[in-house]
Structure 1
Amino acid sequence: MSRPRAVLMMLGLILGGCADPGRHADELAQPAHLKRELITTDGFVLTGFSRRASPGLPLTLYIEGDGHAWQTRNQPSVDPTPHKALGLALAASDPAANVAYVARPCQFTPMQQNSRCSAAYWTDKRYAEDVVAAMNQAVTHYASAGQPVHLVGYSGGGALAVLIAARRHDVASIRTVAGNLDHAEVNRLHGVSPMPESLNAMDVARQVASIPQIHFSGADDRVVPPSIAQRFVKASGTRCAATYRVPGMAHESDWQQRWPELLGRIPICTKGP
């Protein structure tokens, strides 16, 4: 590695608190009646949690962030499973009848079940074509035919929510929380190398322009600053996309505590003048 990738480390290190990430995930999921399962896709075996109580109602599906991608500033971790699964914490706080959560490739799932897992998939290729395709298959696994899907993504999961929405016709809304909606610009801001093997949500802003969406940013976020969501909304050229800056919140703040309040902000398409 030619130089330390500070921003990628910051995006990937959600540190603190838990010696056993799998147990921590179960402790989040069980009180919310979210059941763990493995999802086999063409590229990866993914770990998901879900509560599907009323098939006639929409599904809200959460996508995890980049997780514990870096062990040090220069050394990728051997396991990207987040020490604190903030995406799962958001899902556990959602009272909707139908809630699902999908971890990113190589998170939570035993490595021996994912022969393709390598550090590239939690560093440079975290938003690669095969990653997006696998995550999209996981959405299809949970969504019944004709069921509206609300996508929610935390951090890098926000990028995947947008990239997945651009491929589907059943997405009713998009919400991102501290979403990395333009990794090229984020890396430029931090003076680190680009990720040419990863797709960029910014490149499909126009493709999702007709989907109601709201992008939440922490006012104190120095990892993915609010300007990234603002750039994305501007690029979409639509009145269906909005940003909301949340005071007092940084990238890894307690978004779970704020989530019930933020869920009340419904994405809509506003009318022109």
Structure 2
Amino acid sequence: MPPLPRFHRARLARPLAALLLLGGLAGCASLDRDANAEAIAAPAGLKRMLIRTDPFWLTTFARLSDPARPVTVYIEGDGLAWQSRSEPSRDPTPAEAQGLALAAADPGANVVYLARPCQFTARARNPSCTPAYWTGRRFAPEVIGSIGQALDQIAAQAPGQKLHLVGYSGGGAVAVLAAARRQDVASLRTVAGNLDPAEVSRLHQVSPLDGSLDPLAAAGAVARIPQLHFNSATDRVIPPAIAERFVAATGPACARAVTVPGPSHDRGWTERWRGLLATEPVCR
């Protein structure tokens, strides 16, 4: 199936250990993050492309093989947002791309990984990228609008089919906020999702996000979408109470929080993902 004209093959850009802060710090700055992403994506048949939106170019890795079936879209976490508690990163591209690893573990016919604005994309293509978009404004209206435009283009690859959204960490907030604006979302899953940023900021004793939309405030708008929110009791970044607060705000008819034994915030999810995918979100 040929890509839409606005999908473009991306040219690779070559480009501490740090505290996990709101899912934004992980891995080592010396890692070649592009090469690591290719190593994750290639065995799963996920091909790198760019999607043009306003105001960002977004990087994707996609396997679209059957336009008669729904598309599952994975939205990445916040990536390498901070170098320290006070110094933003120069490049938010995730060191280990947990969202991409989840996408690569999905055997579905139509799987798309969607990086967040300014991740994996050369700054020359994205003059709008400033640290605000991976710190305080990571869930800003223009970010969610950009993700929505990307989802429109992805949905056009399978006309008339529904989207299944999966968000990892901060990508969970983005998935909720994007789903709240759409009518074509069949299900919503989050993995260690930051579904209540204000409460997460309070727990970590850091300043609340300034300029971002609040996924908890969108709970009512997604209340009729079947959803599962996976969390871990050993996650020190996003504890299970965050998913439970979101489900309480959404109502239990279609949303469920599921505590999975074993994983931390950024370890152990990929190995369990195929099994977790076997549980379908349903409305009761």
Q: What's 1:147 paired with?
A: 161
Q: Quick one: distance in 2 between partners of 1:170 and 1:18?
A: 40
Q: Quick one: distance in 2 between partners of 1:203 and 1:260?
A: 30
Return 90-99 or 245-254, whichever deviates more: 245-254
The percentage of aligned residue pairs carrying the same residue is 56
What do residues 62-104 of structure 1 show as CA deviations (whole Å, max 9, x unaligned)?
Answer: 0000000111222111000001000000000000000001100
SS at structure 1 position matched to 2:174: helix
Q: Which amino acid aligns with 1:171?
A: V
Structure 1 unaligned regions, length at least 5: 1-5
Alpha-carbon shift at residue 11 of structure 1 (Å): 1.6
In the TM superposition, 1:89-100 aligns within 5 A as 89-100=101-112
**Is contact 2:26-2:95 (8 Å) kept?**
yes
**Is contact 1:219-1:246 (8 Å) kept?**
yes
Count residues with an aligned counterpart.
265
Determine if the alignment matches structure 1 residue 127 to structure 2 residue 136: no
Q: Which amino acid aligns with 1:9?
A: L
Alpha-carbon shift at residue 252 of structure 1 (Å): 1.1
Q: Quick one: distance in 1 between partners of 2:277 and 2:265?
A: 18
TM-score for the superposition, normalised by structure 2 = 0.90
Determine if the alignment matches structure 1 residue 208 to structure 2 residue 255: no
Alpha-carbon shift at residue 18 of structure 1 (Å): 6.3
SS at structure 1 position matched to 2:83: coil
Q: Which amino acid aligns with 2:198?
A: A
Q: Which amino acid aligns with 1:208?
A: V
SS at structure 2 position matched to 1:153: strand
TM-score for the superposition, normalised by structure 1 = 0.94
**Is contact 2:227-2:254 (8 Å) kept?**
yes
Q: Quick one: distance in 2 between partners of 1:260 and 1:224?
A: 22
SS at structure 2 position matched to 1:261: helix
Find 1:170's aligned residue among 184, 188, 208. 184
CA RMSD of aligned residues (A): 1.5
Q: What's 1:233 paired with?
A: 247
Q: Which amino acid aligns with 2:169?
A: S
What do residues 189-239 of structure 1 show as CA deviations (whole Å, max 9, x unaligned)?
Answer: 222111130001100101100000000001101111000000000001241
SS at structure 2 position matched to 1:9: coil
Q: Which amino acid aligns with 1:12?
A: G
**Is contact 1:34-1:92 (8 Å) kept?**
yes
Q: Quick one: distance in 1 between partners of 2:31 and 2:37?
A: 12
